[in-house]
Every structure is written in structure tokens, then in C-alpha cells.
């Protein structure tokens, strides 16, 4: 049986989206802690990691039996769905799949900017992200969220229609992290459809197990968490994932 290694840390948005998918499908995997941006032995810029994922970012998925490795959260989710026939989350009807792919492309440089505009500046002080870059990212994110509010989420329960798909798992990685019970760095009052969608997403299987890291770090709107807090939240979250996977029948 294929054994899966997922490289990353739970605090990473695209890593969370991938392991939420694996949890939902009760697919055993091992999270291999990998420091984003580090050239060290366990880092995403180490030569051995770059050999698996040339973009040097987390997540990366590795199949230990075939040796196949794949980076980029969306590519990984689409691969897993196609390989395992998870057509509920990535439909095989071309038009339905097209709507999922629309979001997966739209996500980058739109919704993904939530992290660079509001979360990374608090968490990664070392990056010294200029105010002007933060402001632009916030504007881009807000415009992207308005698009979701006024079209897909006004017309359907989820982003690609009335069924939850990997588009929602990806979007929640960014949008979900901003909620009051997590980082609390964005005001959702003007986005009622998005709020309804967020509430629906919280009811999806394994939501809580996939988001322990955010619950543990909590509100960062006033004070940035220390590196120790982030580290210990990541470690605790890895423990929760391990316990969840041990409960799967195929594990």
C-alpha cells in the first residue's frame, strides 16, 4: 500500500488544506516537519528538498513506494483526488471540474494575499514586509473576497456549487484563518455569504483536528505570538494529526 509523506508545518495555509483533504478521506499519511524557507537539513530550501519540489515551498507530497514527489498545494490535491477517484471533491464532469479549477487559479494573487497582507506580517517579523506591500495585499484580498461574496457564494452553498470541493478546502486555508476564533485579523461584517460559508465549513469532517494550530495560537490582532508559541502549537497540532491518522482503519 502506498505510504504518504507530507512535508510542511500545520501553520502553513496550503499544508493545512492538503492534510484536511487527507483527513476527510481517512487516508493515512505522515507529516514530516519542514521549515519553510530554511536551507537547513529540515528546510524547504535544502538541496534534498529542492530535488522533490523545485519551488522550495511547503507543502510537498511524497509517495514512499513509487518515489513520486509533488509540490504545490493545488497540484497535490488534484493529484490525490484523481488518483483515488475522489470525484465528490474534484468532479469528473468537465464543467463542474472547470468551476473548481476556476477557483484554484483565482486563489493565487487574490485570496492567497490574506497571508501576505495580514498574517505573515505578524508571524514573520523577520521578513520585514513593508506597509505598502501589506496594504496592497489587503486590498487585493478584499477585492477577491468581494468576488466570492457577490457571485459564487451568492449563487451556491459552496464555491463551485452546492457541493464542497477542494476549492473550498483551499479557500478556507486562507479565509478561515482570519476568523475571530483564530487570528482575528479581518472584519467579516460586510460579507454575510462568506460568513454563512465559513459556518458551513466548520461543520465539515475533521475541521477541528485540521485547525488545532490556529485555535492554540489564537488572536494575533493585538500582539504577535512568540516563536515558542508558534513552535509548540505546530508540535501539538502534529500530535493531533498523528492521533487522528492512528484512528483510521487503513493506518
Ligand X SMILES: N[C@@H](CCC(=O)N[C@@H](CS)C(=O)NCC(=O)O)C(=O)O
Confirm if 8 and 210 have CB atoms less than 8 A apart.
no
* Assigned C-alpha cell, 180: 475571530
* Sites of contact with ligand X (CB under 6 A): 12-14, 36-37, 44-45, 56-59, 72-73
Q: How many CB atoms within 10 Å of residue 71? A: 21
Least distance to ligand X from the beta carbon of 44, Å? 5
141 vs 191 by CB, closer to ligand X? 141
Phi, psi of 10 (to 5 degrees): -60, -25
Q: C-beta of 246: minimal distance to ligand X in Å?
A: 26
Q: Which is closer to ligand X, CB of 17 or CB of 191? A: 17
Of the two residues 56 and 91, which places its CB atom closer to ligand X in the complex? Answer: 56
Minimum distance from residue 251 beta carbon to ligand X (Å): 25
Cis bond upstream, residue 59 (ω within 30) = yes
Between the alpha carbon of residue 4 and those of residues 67, 68, 151, the distances in Å are 10, 10, 37
12/140 with CB nearer ligand X: 12
Q: Least CB distance from residue 125 to ligand X, whole Å?
A: 15
Report whether 227 contacts 4 (CB < 8 A): no
42 or 196: CB nearest ligand X: 42
Cell 497571508 maps to which residue?
Answer: 115
The Cα 34–Cα 42 span in angstroms is 5
d(CA 52, CA 71) in angstroms, rounded, equals: 7
**Of 58 and 80, which has the nearer Cβ to ligand X?**
58
Nearest distance, CB of residue 72 and ligand X, angstroms: 4
In the complex, the smallest distance separating the C-beta of residue 114 from ligand X, rounded to whole angstroms, is 11
Buried/exposed 179-188: b ≥16 CB within 10 Å, e otherwise = beebbebbee
Q: How distant, in Å, are the alpha carbons of 17, 56, 168, 200 from that of 152?
A: 20, 32, 11, 15
Amino acid at each position: 500500500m502506498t505510504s504518504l509523506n507530507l512535508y510542511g508545518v500545520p501553520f502553513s495555509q496550503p499544508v493545512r488544506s492538503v492534510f484536511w483533504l487527507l483527513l476527510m478521506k481517512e487516508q493515512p499519511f505522515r507529516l514530516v516537519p519542514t521549515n519553510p524557507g530554511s536551507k537547513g537539513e529540515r528546510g524547504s530550501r535544502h538541496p534534498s528538498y529542492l530535488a522533490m519540489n523545485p519551488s522550495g515551498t511547503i507543502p510537498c507530497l511524497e509517495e514512499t513506494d513509487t518515489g513520486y514527489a509533488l509540490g504545490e498545494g493545488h497540484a497535490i490535491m488534484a493529484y490525490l483526488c484523481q488518483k483515488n477517484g475522489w470525484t465528490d471533491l474534484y468532479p469528473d464532469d468537465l464543467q463542474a471540474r472547470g468551476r473548481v479549477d476556476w477557483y484554484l487559479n483565482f486563489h493565487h494573487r487574490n485570496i492567497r494575499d490574506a497571508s501576505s497582507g495580514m498574517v505573515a506580517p505578524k508571524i514573520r517579523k523577520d521578513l520585514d514586509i513593508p506597509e505598502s506591500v501589506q496594504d496592497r495585499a489587503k486590498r487585493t484580498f478584499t477585492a477577491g473576497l468581494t468576488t466570492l461574496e457577490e457571485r459564487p457564494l451568492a449563487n451556491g452553498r459552496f464555491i463551485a456549487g452546492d457541493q464542497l470541493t477542494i476549492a473550498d478546502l483551499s479557500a478556507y486555508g486562507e479565509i478561515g484563518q482570519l476568523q475571530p476564533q483564530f487570528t482575528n485579523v479581518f472584519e467579516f461584517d460586510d460579507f454575510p455569504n462568506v460568513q454563512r460559508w465559513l459556518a458551513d465549513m466548520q461543520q465539515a469532517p475533521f475541521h477541528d483536528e485540521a485547525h488545532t494550530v490556529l485555535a492554540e495560537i489564537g488572536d494575533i490582532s493585538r500582539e504577535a505570538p512568540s516563536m515558542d508559541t508558534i513552535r509548540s502549537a505546530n508540535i501539538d497540532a502534529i500530535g493531533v494529526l498523528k492521533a487522528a491518522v492512528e484512528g483510521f482503519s487503513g493506518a
